[in-house]
Chains A and B, each alone.
Chain A
Amino acid sequence: MLELTPKTVSERSALRINPCKTCQPVGALYAALGVHKCMPHSHGSQGCVSYHRTLLTRHFKEPAIASSSSFTEGASVFGGGSNLRAAVKNIFDVYDPDIIAVHTTCLSETIGDDLNAYILEMTIPDGKVVVHTNTPSYAGSHVTGYANMLAGFIRYLADPGTEKNGKTAIFPGFVNPGDIRECNRLLGMLNLSVIMFPDQSGVMDAPMTNVYAMYPEGGTTIDEIRALGGCERVLALGHLTCEEPAEELKKKCKIPYTLLPLPIGVAATDAFVMAAAEASENIPKEIEEERGRLLDLMLDANPYFHDKKVAVYGDPDTVIGLTSFALELGMTPRYVITGTPGEAFTRHVNALLEKFGVADCTVKAAADLFELHQWIKNGPVDLLIGTSYGKQIAKAEDIPLVRAGFPILDRYGHSYMPIVGYQGAIRLAEMIAGALMDRQDRDCADEDMEVVM
């Protein structure tokens, strides 16, 4: 496995090998699937959306619907306006969504298609909506695309004139339906009235019923997106994912926002719960008990976490959260990378490392899994935490892997389960301890095999 990867690290400025990111449109597509009765639409060649639907389907093991402008060479030369008009008509005729969320591709961006003008000029059936965002694949990553799509919905729909509704808007970040359910559960325990935007729960984890629904019951409704303009405040989870949409809503509707890390691990979940509750006395005993159970587990299993060297890779906010929790468990991050560009990532991670007094950790944005592998060859770790693409490194170097983040293509059920909140942390702690303890059992001499650990 990966036998051709040399130990010697060489400087690369052009060749990306084994990326730890993908392109903007797939993030935009995922964001749009979190809107009720929405058809995500890719303005480009149909190959893009075929790849994106495939990737999302493989991660969630669920249908991921989306349409395409199906550019051919002609459209690439003369512009994609007529393709988009035809697409919008056909989509409403055949698939009858309430809203079409268009995102661009490197193709339509390179030729400079003006989506604003196209949408302004086209005929849209009464009561139906078409929105768009720009997602050039040659900038940022799928995380950027996710953020851009949210901003696009807000630009088109959030209504500054809407009545004040006293609600808190929650931007949950690029997470699984299981995470959104967990956020909603915590918020329910806090009796908080919220608009979750977007909300892929009930869409990308729809139940098996023997009846396929193209538009499952979940998703943020168009009315809810409009009502974002009347919310009291926004809790935007994920500094590097949700600032852009939060800023957009602030600009358009003057709604203040609080930017928080993804609630992964103790401190980040504490911050989320406290921000959501506003006043400490609002936090119910049940939440405190959940937190207590998490802390109990962390202390009970501490010897197995202590000083274990770990490499964390994936999307920026997820990686920041996982690193934070690894530190809370007493582990030692050695390599922390994301493929998404942006130095804010390294600042956030370095601040965490400093807080826990961990030196000698390589932190890098716009990194790839090839260099991570090379670093590991030079300074090994005890555990990998990240996406499925790390399994090659795990096999090559014989390191246990705990899967968390996006994409996870080789497991079932993971997207139902949270990694956020105290419950999510309990799950992570159990997975991490299990992986490390299995490894100890596998590697130890027979006489050292412990039945009780």
Chain B
Amino acid sequence: MDVKAEILGHYNAKVFKNRKDHILKIEEGEEAEISANTRAIPGIMTNRGCCYAGCKGVVIGPIRDAVTITHGPIGCGFYSWGTRRNKARPGEDGKNFIQYCFSTDMQEPDIVFGGDKKLRQAIKEAMEIFHPKTIFICSTCPVGLIGDDIHAVAAEAEKEYGISCTSFSCEGYKGVSQSAGHHIANNGLMKRVIGTGGDAPSAKFSLNLLGEYNIGGDGWEVERILKRIGYEIVSIFTGDGSVADISRAHTANLNLVQCHRSINYVAEMMKTAYGINWLKVNFIGIDPICGSLRDIARYFGDEKLAQRTEEVIAEEKAAIAGDMAFFKTRLDGKTAALFVGGSRSHHYQSLLRDLGVSTVLAGYEFAHRDDYEGRDVIPEIKEDADSKNIEELHVEKDEKRYRAFLNAERYEELKRTIGLEDYKGMIHDMPDGSYVVDDLNHFETEAFTRLLNPDIFFSGVKDKYVLQKGGTLSRQLHSYDYSGPYAGFKGAVIFGRDLVMGLYAPAWGMVTPPWKLTRAAAGGTTDA
């Protein structure tokens, strides 16, 4: 059966024409090209969010020591309040603002006469009550339309209160998904935060962890492992992150990139400005974790570090081997579909493989072609009207602080051996015969589930109950169904436990009432 044709056959001509290039079957030896980061189709239920969600919700929101004011009507601030599980503990300064929602709650007169006055007053009130060192302003749709000059308000606030105040024009209508917001947030952090925190050198084995949002405590588990080996974590972008740390990010000797989509801009810009190399890592799944740890050690080229890395890997693996082996006996041979933002659909495939689960479908909500096909494709990606509207920030080499950690020879060698500053994309790791779908929509989620019949469908909460009502286990891979961490060694065990728990929940077997079962089935097991 041609699954792709079967699904596209349900569409009218326009939708067909659009969607056909977003659905791909991996065939052996065939070049895989996919359309991505294009406009969602009006009326087709996409899972995508908006630019504001990418900027405030994903990148800026988790920074704990800043007051982040949403400038707009109340909804946007409300929906992004405590809903993403980006955990944070107060730092040394005792500040943790992520339990709070700050909004200018714009009313009709603000829309008609301009909202900058209210924003100015909101900043004043935030200063009086909380005395923050940093204020971020994130704007919502109407702000851009009525032309409030939030950047001028931010500049005034800096002068008046002697604080750092950065505004992000991340109106929801910009770009085609959250992705535009990531980019805008990256630009703001690069322009206004990174490099502002003094130049006291960090340890030799120092790292920034980029694109780690500490969902369910993932970042803490990764930090635990890295610290055991002996690394100094200068800053985390941005889960449990702080302005204090991010402002010193330029002093680290390597940038680790976990979520490529949301943070690769910062990695590239820091390379240009400060000479910091970056390495794509993955702390989800045992092989990628071990691979990433070894790559990091190789980057620093220190024998003791390499040895310590092996010791930690051996200990950590031994500690979880029993649990993982047990979960595998319960999960071996199962199949999964994954539809998440811009990295996890790739990352989780190896963890699933560890547990004997193969992937039949994977897709990204807001990825670009390079997240699918690898960074080699970047020169081929054409700019369109929507991406042109997002500022491409060109940074200059910071002559004073630029430090090349590697000599040219080592750099070239590491590019070859550990894939320094490269990402091969999700498709590279996907099995033949599996499907890749960009911006999977409600109709396709249902149709693919029917046609491919995965045992588990990893997605977000909007899909979860659609799938479960239809009898397919769904786990939220954005929020981990309020569990986690899933990263690192310890996370792998929690992930395995959660899958077994979900698949073997007794209730699955009771969904059909006994009086509706055939006599034979009623005597035996169930029809689940």
Would you give the shortest CB distance from B472 to chain A, in whole angstroms? Answer: 9
Say whether A16 contacts B173, CB under 8 Å.
no
**Chain B window 219-250, contacts with chain A (Cβ cutoff 8 Å), 1 for yes, 0 for no:** 00000000000000000000000000000000
Say whether A17 contacts B462, CB under 8 Å.
no
Say whether A138 contacts B42, CB under 8 Å.
no
Q: Given the known A-B contacts A212-B469, A212-B470, are A45 and B50 also in contact in the complex, defined by CB atoms under 8 Å? A: yes
Say whether A72 contacts B145, CB under 8 Å.
no
Q: Is A118 an interface residue (CB 8 A)?
A: no
Q: Given the known A-B contacts A15-B69, A16-B104, A57-B462, are A90 and B386 also in contact in the complex, defined by CB atoms under 8 Å? A: no
Q: Is B141 an interface residue (CB 8 A)?
A: yes
Say whether A61 contacts B83, CB under 8 Å.
no
Say whether A47 contacts B50, CB under 8 Å.
yes
Chain B residues whose CB sits within 8 angstroms of the CB of A13 once the complex forms? 121, 125
Say whether B96 contacts A93, CB under 8 Å.
no
**Chain A window 36-55, contacts with chain B (Cβ cutoff 8 Å), 1 for yes, 0 for no:** 00000100111110111111
Q: Is A301 an interface residue (CB 8 A)?
A: no
Interface residues of A in 99-116 (CB under 8 A from B): 105-107, 110-111
Chain A residues whose CB sits within 8 angstroms of the CB of B118 once the complex forms? 14
Chain B residues whose CB sits within 8 angstroms of the CB of A66 once the complex forms? 45
Instruction: Among B52, B83, B469, point to the contact of A209 (Cβ < 8 A).
Output: B469
Q: Is B187 an interface residue (CB 8 A)?
A: no
Chain B residues whose CB sits within 8 angstroms of the CB of A91 once the complex forms? 43
Chain A residues whose CB sits within 8 angstroms of the CB of B39 once the complex forms? 70, 72
Chain B residues whose CB sits within 8 angstroms of the CB of A16 once the complex forms? 74, 77, 101-105
Chain B residues whose CB sits within 8 angstroms of the CB of A208 once the complex forms? 468-469, 511
Task: Tell me which of A3-11, A195-203, A351-359 binds B.
Answer: A3-11
Say whether A90 contacts B101, CB under 8 Å.
no
Chain A residues whose CB sits within 8 angstroms of the CB of B78 once the complex forms? 19, 21-23
Q: Is B76 an interface residue (CB 8 A)?
A: yes
Q: Is B146 an interface residue (CB 8 A)?
A: yes
Say whether B49 contacts A72, CB under 8 Å.
no
Q: Is A220 an interface residue (CB 8 A)?
A: no
Instruction: Among A19, A26, A55, A90, point to the contact of B15 (Cβ < 8 A).
Output: A90
Say whether A74 contacts B385, CB under 8 Å.
yes
Q: Is B10 an interface residue (CB 8 A)?
A: yes
Q: Is B406 an interface residue (CB 8 A)?
A: no
Chain B residues whose CB sits within 8 angstroms of the CB of A87 once the complex forms? 42-43
**Chain A window 50-81, contacts with chain B (Cβ cutoff 8 Å), 1 for yes, 0 for no:** 11111101100111111111111111100000
In Å, the complex CA distance between A76 and B42 comes to 14
Q: Is B305 an interface residue (CB 8 A)?
A: no
Say whether A138 contacts B111, CB under 8 Å.
yes
Q: Is B407 an interface residue (CB 8 A)?
A: no
In Å, the complex CA distance between A1 and B96 comes to 9
Say whether A86 contacts B75, CB under 8 Å.
no
Q: Given the known A-B contacts A23-B78, A50-B53, A212-B466, are A106 and B386 also in contact in the complex, defined by CB atoms under 8 Å? A: no
Chain A residues whose CB sits within 8 angstroms of the CB of B83 once the complex forms? 54, 58, 409
Q: Is B73 an interface residue (CB 8 A)?
A: yes
Q: Is B107 an interface residue (CB 8 A)?
A: yes
In Å, the complex CA distance between A139 and B97 comes to 27
Q: Is A415 an interface residue (CB 8 A)?
A: no
Q: Is A83 an interface residue (CB 8 A)?
A: yes
Q: Is A378 an interface residue (CB 8 A)?
A: no
Q: Is A362 an interface residue (CB 8 A)?
A: no
Q: Given the known A-B contacts A10-B128, A18-B101, A22-B79, are A83 and B172 also in contact in the complex, defined by CB atoms under 8 Å? A: no
In Å, the complex CA distance between A154 and B417 comes to 68
Would you give the shortest CB distance from B19 to chain A, in whole angstroms? Answer: 10
Chain A residues whose CB sits within 8 angstroms of the CB of B110 once the complex forms? 138
**Chain B window 176-192, contacts with chain A (Cβ cutoff 8 Å), 1 for yes, 0 for no:** 11100000000000000
* A71 to B, closest residue via Cβ: B173
Q: Is B29 an interface residue (CB 8 A)?
A: no
Chain B residues whose CB sits within 8 angstroms of the CB of A53 once the complex forms? 462
Chain B residues whose CB sits within 8 angstroms of the CB of A45 once the complex forms? 50-51, 141, 172-173
Q: Is B34 an interface residue (CB 8 A)?
A: no
> For B39, B74, B94, which residue has the most chain A Cβ atoms within 10 angstroms?
B74
Q: Is A176 an interface residue (CB 8 A)?
A: no
In Å, the complex CA distance between A86 and B44 comes to 10
Chain A residues whose CB sits within 8 angstroms of the CB of B504 once the complex forms? none
Instruction: Among A15, A57, A110, A212, point to the contact of B145 (Cβ < 8 A).
Output: A110
Q: Is A206 an interface residue (CB 8 A)?
A: yes
Chain B residues whose CB sits within 8 angstroms of the CB of A389 once the complex forms? 81-82
Would you give the shortest CB distance from A229 to chain B, in whole angstroms? Answer: 30
Q: Is B443 an interface residue (CB 8 A)?
A: yes
Say whether B45 contacts A67, CB under 8 Å.
yes
Say whether B74 contacts A105, CB under 8 Å.
no
In Å, the complex CA distance between A17 and B68 comes to 11
Chain B residues whose CB sits within 8 angstroms of the CB of A25 once the complex forms? 75
Instruction: Among A14, A61, A65, A105, point to the contact of B122 (Cβ < 8 A).
Output: A14
Say whether B469 contacts A26, CB under 8 Å.
no
Q: Is B261 an interface residue (CB 8 A)?
A: no
Q: Is B142 an interface residue (CB 8 A)?
A: yes
Q: Is B126 an interface residue (CB 8 A)?
A: yes
* B462 to A, closest residue via Cβ: A53
In Å, the complex CA distance between A71 and B82 comes to 26
* A370 to B, closest residue via Cβ: B100
**Chain B window 23-55, contacts with chain A (Cβ cutoff 8 Å), 1 for yes, 0 for no:** 000000000000000011111111111111100
Q: Given the known A-B contacts A15-B102, A58-B461, A138-B111, are A94 and B44 also in contact in the complex, defined by CB atoms under 8 Å? A: yes
Q: Given the known A-B contacts A13-B121, A50-B47, are A90 and B42 also in contact in the complex, defined by CB atoms under 8 Å? A: yes
Q: Is A275 an interface residue (CB 8 A)?
A: no
* A396 to B, closest residue via Cβ: B99
Chain A residues whose CB sits within 8 angstroms of the CB of B107 once the complex forms? 138-139
Q: Given the known A-B contacts A22-B78, A46-B48, are A2 and B99 also in contact in the complex, defined by CB atoms under 8 Å? A: yes
Would you give the shortest CB distance from A18 to chain B, in whole angstroms? Answer: 5
Instruction: Among B53, B73, B174, B462, point to the contact of A64 (Cβ < 8 A).
Output: B462
Would you give the shortest CB distance from B467 to chain A, in whole angstroms? Answer: 8
In Å, the complex CA distance between A93 and B44 comes to 10
Say whether A137 contacts B172, CB under 8 Å.
no
**Chain B window 112-144, contacts with chain A (Cβ cutoff 8 Å), 1 for yes, 0 for no:** 000000111110111011100000000011101
In Å, the complex CA distance between A19 and B460 comes to 25
In Å, the complex CA distance between A167 and B355 comes to 59
Say whether A211 contacts B469, CB under 8 Å.
yes
Would you give the shortest CB distance from A49 to chain B, in whole angstroms? Answer: 8
Chain A residues whose CB sits within 8 angstroms of the CB of B389 once the complex forms? 73
**Chain A window 178-217, contacts with chain B (Cβ cutoff 8 Å), 1 for yes, 0 for no:** 0000000000000000000000000000101111111000
In Å, the complex CA distance between A339 and B101 comes to 14
Instruction: Among B48, B172, B469, point to the contact of A107 (Cβ < 8 A).
Output: B172
In Å, the complex CA distance between A258 and B444 comes to 46
Say whether B512 contacts A84, CB under 8 Å.
no
In Å, the complex CA distance between A6 and B127 comes to 13
Would you give the shortest CB distance from B142 to chain A, in whole angstroms? Answer: 4
Q: Given the known A-B contacts A16-B104, A45-B173, A54-B461, are A110 and B141 also in contact in the complex, defined by CB atoms under 8 Å? A: yes
Say whether B74 contacts A21, CB under 8 Å.
yes
Say whether B145 contacts A67, CB under 8 Å.
no
In Å, the complex CA distance between A45 and B76 comes to 12
Say whether A23 contacts B142, CB under 8 Å.
no
In Å, the complex CA distance between A340 and B9 comes to 47
Say whether A95 contacts B443, CB under 8 Å.
yes
Chain B residues whose CB sits within 8 angstroms of the CB of A136 once the complex forms? 73, 108, 111
Q: Is B95 an interface residue (CB 8 A)?
A: yes
* A49 to B, closest residue via Cβ: B45
Question: What are 15 sample pairs from A and B whose C-beta atoms fall under 8 A apart?
Answer: A4-B97, A13-B121, A15-B125, A16-B77, A21-B78, A45-B172, A50-B50, A54-B79, A68-B40, A70-B41, A94-B10, A137-B74, A138-B73, A213-B469, A389-B82
- Known contacts A18-B101, A47-B50, A93-B11; 4 further A-B pairs (Cβ under 8 A): A54-B462, A57-B461, A86-B42, A139-B108
Please give me the 3 A-B residue pairs with the lowest Cβ-Cβ distance, nearest first.
A47-B50, A23-B75, A87-B43
User: Which B residues have a C-beta under 8 Å from some C-beta of A?
Assistant: 10-12, 14-15, 39-53, 69, 72-83, 90, 94-97, 99-108, 110-111, 118-122, 124-126, 128-130, 140-142, 144-146, 172-178, 385-386, 389, 442-443, 446, 460-471, 511-512, 528
